[in-house]
Structure 1
């Protein structure tokens, strides 16, 4: 595959994930990723700051999806209802990427440094949700709590989705996790 072919960024991302799954994150070099993609290391660094970034590219877009979904939730929506709308928006973005998500998660699960980076990404998502809720007029403690709870729901649903062998969509897992949350908070 020649360097002139389109989608260098996508080719690099696919090559990196393939190599991370085959060899492990730590045993894969930028040179190997570039070679697998049919590109140069220089091209790699034009698209990604480092080899970790390949796994976390797109995080900014996800923050925008969450914030926009909260903003577009009906005016009568509670803070948790707005968070639920946002989580469904995130599920829509990820809907066609289950196999990619499964491989990506397996790479992250095998590396402590990547797990830390994933937690930072999830914290950023929580902050984006809380900020969007505050813009809707939700008070600080409620916005922060709803955002954190929303991310806990997302993490549980996402894990179930990537671990499943069936055909259930991420959005369904999110709805089930929200129902589980309601059941837990209604217990006496």
Structure 2
């Protein structure tokens, strides 16, 4: 459902002097979130996808009225989390939704005035990307600190090392598809 123009991009920070964080970019807006919030949002993406699938099942398979199913899911979410939605003010807000007309489970994503919709499957894929970015931010900081401690590499060589690591990660992700 997303296009490259409205896709959300995330990249881990490798500065060993800063707390582990990720740069998030969406529709020309950039912000930084610490890896704790990135990981939490990644888990919330999975959870929202499951809730969205549940909403669709309740309405299409069990024939429950969509507003009743939505109310049930909303109260269940609030009971389980104490919140009306998922995500974080540091990252993005998430809400499971479903469309009986399109027979689709989805997750609504918002941040300020930005709003988008991804399918439940896309939300699950996005979750894995966010978990990977958080892990990369932490591991890259350790590598950056080690390279700095060794002190034998200039900035161009350090950049080559991280470019190569990104390529290795990308090829590893492709192997998992």
Larger RCO: Structure 1 or Structure 2 (Cα < 8 Å, ≥ 6 residues apart)? 2
TM-score normalised by length of structure 2: 0.32
TM-score normalised by length of structure 1: 0.31
More helix by share: 1
